[in-house]
Structure 1
C-alpha cells in the first residue's frame, strides 16, 4: 500500500532496466499544495525517462514533523520497489518548489523527525532540485511557512534546526537550485545561502538566478529567463547520468 498522499507517474522511456526516480513536493506555504507544481512536473520528469512520485504531504493545521515524516515515508517507499515500478535504488532524488523546496532541503540535510524508523540513510535523497525554495527560518524568513509549520513563537533552536543552510554537511546530496532575483515572496537569499553552504561543504551545486519573474512559476513555460530552467535541469541530470543523452 502506498503512503498517504502519494501518486506515481511512470517514466516514458524505451531504456531497459531500473530507472531513476524523483519525489515531487509542490509548494503552498505549508498551507496547501499548488497543483501546477505537482502532476505537470511529474509528467515532465516522466518525459525524461524518470519515474516521478507526487506527494500531497500534510499541511497546517498539522505541524512539524508531520510533513517531513510524510516525505521520509515516501522516500523509503520509492526505494523499496513495493509500488511495482523498476526504480534504481541508488538514484532517487527530490524536487521541491517554495515551501516544498524547504521540505526537500530539510529532507536532503537529514533533519530528524524523532522516529528511528524514518531517520535513516535511505530517507535522504541522492540529488535535489530546489525551485525558488524557502530555506532559512532565521534570516529573511517567509513568515507564512514558519507560522504554518511551527505555530506561534517557536523556539530559536527549532528555527535553527529547520534552517537547511545551517544543516549542510559534506554528506548532503548535490543540488540544482534556481530562483528569480526579484522574487517578492521568498527572497533570493534563500537559494544563495543554500548553494553557498553546499559549496563550502565541498558538495556540487548548480545555481541559476534569473533577473525577473514572480514567485510560484512552476515549469515557467513561456517565461523569458525562468522558462529555461527545465532544459538547464535536464542537462544537469544528463551530466549526472540520470537521463539519456539529450542530443546526438
Structure 2
C-alpha cells in the first residue's frame, strides 16, 4: 500500500517531520510518500494562503506519476479536500477531520489547540462543514505561528500545553486534538500535563486511510465528488494535467 501525504506549505523540513510521524504509525507494508507543493506559502495561516495551498496540493498529487492507494492532506483547517475527491477515486483524508473523528471515539467532547487566533475560524468552519462541530468543546489558539513551532520549540511547547490544560479545565474537553501538522512531537507532553488522550491528525489520517484501503472502499462518484466535467482549462498551473 502506498499513501501520499501532502504538506500544505512549502517548508521542506515540515514535510519531513510530517513524513516521519506518518511512517511511525504506518502498518508494515505501507509506504509513505511525502510531497511538498512546488508553489505556495512557507506556512498557511489564513484564507488566501489556504486557497493557494489547495491548488498547490492538487498540483503536487496530479504531478506524481506512480500508483498510490490514498492521499492525506496534511494541513489543519485548509481548503481543498473536496477538489481532490473530485479528481481521484482513492480515499482522500483531511487531518482536521481525521483527528476530530478519532477524538469522538475517546471522549464526549474534544478541543483543538492550534497556532494563531486567525486560524480558529477556519478550523471551526471545517469542523462544521464536516459535521464534527457538535462535540467540539473549543478551538484554542496558542499564539505561536507555524514557523515558530520549529524556531522556538520550547516556547511552543509551553504555549500549547497551557492552552490544552485550559481546554480541559475550563471548556470541559476530554480529548485534545493537536491543530497543526507540525505539532506531532508534542503528544506526550500534552498528555502528561492534562491527563487526557491527545490525538495527532497525521497519525489518525494514516490509520484511517489504511483501513479504507484494506476494506476496498473508494470515493463515491455518483454526485458530490463526480469527476470534473470535461472542458478547456486555461492558464497556470493545472493546464494539461
Would you tell me which structure has more helix in proportion to its own residues? 2
What's the TM-score bracket when you normalise by the shorter of the two chains?
0.3 to 0.5
Tell which has more relative contact order, 1 or 2 (C-alpha 8 A, sep 6+): 2
What TM-score, normalized to structure 1? 0.44
